[in-house]
Amino acid sequence: MSSEKIRVGVIGAGGNTTKLHIPGLQAQEGVEIVTVVNRTAASSQRVADEFGIPNISPDWQAVIEDPDIDAVCIGTWPYMHAPMTISALVEEKHVLCEARMALNADEGHAMLDAARQSPRCVAQIVPAPHTLAFDQTIIDMIADGYIGELITLDARIAAGSNFPNPNSPTHWRQDRDLSGNNIMSMGIWYEAMMRWVGPMANVFASGQAVVNHRVNEAGHRVAMTIPDHVDIMGKMEQGGQIRFNVSTVIGHVPATVDVCIFGTEGTLRLYMAGSDPMALFAGKRGDAGLSEVAIDPAKKGGWRVEEEFINAIRGVEDITHTDLTTAVKYMEWTDAVTMSLRTGQSVTLPLMG
């Protein structure tokens, strides 16, 4: 398929799909989005009209069963990711699936198994994008011995956080039936941190739903079972440990992102406050303090998900952001956090294998 036209069907056309995936795919030479299906025929038609897509489909099964479609872009909520991805792979279609990977690690493993049984197909999970500009610099500095040996990674993520608001509407991310064991932005940050320092060896978590109920669209009072404030601790496979806080309910936070990697010889700090752009700081033993790191443009990553997906289909490059093996690791970690929250005990990783 190195030079053939790639025909894509879009399943689920929410914010990321219309902002990034559809324009990104249409920008690739030799790619045509031939159909779209959203939650209603009316919304499907609106998207088709906006992006010049020639057809809408009656349901997601019709997209996957269409023999003329080569690849699907899945932009639904996580509860449908596994059945759609597995069905598409069985039909020998390439899959670009929105993050988070699935409801839980069992579904993630089933998706990975399906991909392994269809080795001619490309399967990609949309990656955590927040740190792409800094990842290669951080990876190289750690690999070159800048921090020495890892002592601890200390992270506080409070993007979008504010004082609790019981009157705020229920979001699909707060519905376990739709989002599964995924909690706030916890998974995307763990995925990014795995790029730098590898996975955790165990997890101990404590959390709470500070806003313990909300009113849904039907006017019913709904209990919140997914935490809006969570603290996670544990040891890293490579040595050292981690302390990781994610919250959407703390006010007047000094920084929305504050991630420090402390080592025996140096410290790295990824920091963002208010409307200021994210920046990387570093300091070695003997320095007066931390100084901002100038990111080499050659190492500055960015969003190229759709390009990577199409290139992988054409055999030009392999999937790195994010392959299903990596995604399963963050899903196992997500399950481990939920298990620890429920039991009050430390959970060892990996969960399977």
pLDDT at 2: 59
The model carries a pTM of 0.94
Same fold, 6-127+304-320 and 132-302: no
The pLDDT tens digits of the residues spanning 278-296 come to 999 999 999 999 999 999 9
Residue 95, judged by CB atoms within 10 A of its CB (0-12, 13-18, 19+), counts as buried
For every one of its 353 residues, what pLDDT tens digit does the chain have, with 9 covering 90 and above? 556 899 999 999 989 999 999 999 999 999 999 999 999 999 999 999 999 999 999 999 999 999 999 999 999 999 999 999 999 999 999 999 999 999 999 999 999 999 999 999 999 999 999 999 999 999 999 999 999 999 999 999 998 899 999 888 888 888 999 999 999 999 999 999 999 999 999 999 999 999 999 888 788 888 999 999 999 999 999 999 999 999 999 999 999 999 999 999 999 999 999 889 999 999 999 999 999 999 999 999 999 999 999 999 999 999 999 999 999 999 999 999 999 999 999 999 999 75
> Sign of the CA dihedral 16, 280, 327, 172?
negative
Query: What is 132-302's CATH topology?
Result: Dihydrodipicolinate Reductase; domain 2 (3.30.360)
Residue recorded with tokens 């935490």 = 227
pLDDT at 168: 83
Residue range 6-127+304-320, CATH number: 3.40.50.720
Residue 272, judged by CB atoms within 10 A of its CB (0-12, 13-18, 19+), counts as middle
Domain coordinates in residue numbering, the chain: 6-127+304-320, 132-302
CB atoms within 10 A of CB 211: 18
Kindly report the three-state secondary structure assignment for every residue of 67-130. CCCCEEEECCCHHHHHHHHHHHHHCCCEEEECCCCCCCHHHHHHHHHHHHHCCCCCEEECCCCC
